[in-house]
Amino acid sequence: MALGRGLGAILEEVGQSYDNEMSANSTSADQIQELDVNEITANPYQPRKTFDKEALYELSESIKRNGLLQPIVVLEKDEGYLLVAGERRLRAHKLAGLDTIKAIIADVDIDDAKLRELALIENIQRENLNSMELAHSYDELIKVYEITHDELSNVVNKSRSQITNTLRLLALSSYVQKKLINGIISQGHAKILVGFDESEQKILVDTIIGQKLSVRDTELLAKKKKSGKKEELKKETKVSFLESYKNSFNEKLPFSFKVKNNSLEINFKDDAEIEKFLKMLQK
């Protein structure tokens, strides 16, 4: 399945529409128009789930003062219009109490698959998504179009390492993801927590927040915790080595005994058992 070509066509059409609008002799059907904001429906495949209220307010104030510098892009539908690009601008218009918005009506036939692609790539290229939304967008594109990280890198103009590191955030617990989405921790903090189990992630992220740790401090904390786990694993390995002989001890020792750390403790009921044990050693 082809990926990315639809976005280029739309953006090319946007540019052409600007040129047409500036030309007094333009007879093109694709022109910048004023549309009723209530007649525009959001793209159902919009990957962006959270919008910065303060940033939207600033944008709405700018639009009230200076007007909308870049029209949104819509498709004409049976009952109104479907938004292709510019959800922040549309939301800002509504916040400003404006009834209409400048829009380019793209005269192209786009199916649901292409609409999803346009929404994802438009946001990715404009860097409007938070880290988790970006990770989900990458993941969806890879799964829907069955492409590799390298192929996606060429489509969205991001490095392969950036894509891979962002996708790793999906391994984080929902608790950590929420902190990242809300901006309580940074992506730098979050990527360090990948690889720890859910309970460990919670302890680490609470420590990061409580002690206001920098990314560097978090790296040192994670390294220390991993070192501690390795030491515990070594201890368990040593104990398990002796424990592996427990069945043999049961067969050969007719006495009560305990395996403790690196020691074997034998308990004798009486002198007769001690004498029996000594005879066993002489054989």
Which residues are the active-site residues? 87
Q: Cα-flanking dihedrals φ and ψ of residue 196, to 5°?
A: -90, 155
CA 61 to each of CA 1, 37, 85, 129, 178: distance values in angstroms, whole numbers, following the listed order: 42, 17, 20, 22, 29
As a three-state string, the secondary structure of 147-190 is CCHHHHHHHHCCCHHHHHHHHHHHHCCHHHHHHHHCCCCCHHHH
Rounded to whole angstroms, how far apart are CA atoms 104 and 32?
A: 5
CB 1 within 8 A of CB 146: yes
Looking up tokens 């069955």 gives 146
Looking up tokens 């990242």 gives 180
Looking up tokens 């999906």 gives 170
CA 149 to each of CA 4, 116, 126: distance values in angstroms, whole numbers, following the listed order: 14, 19, 19
CB 110 within 8 A of CB 118: yes
Look up residue 65 and give its two tokens: 């003062």
Rounded to whole angstroms, how far apart are CA atoms 83 and 281?
A: 87
CA angle 197, 143, 4 (to 5 degrees): 130
CB under 8 Å to 17, separation ≥6 — which residues? 28, 30, 31, 32, 104
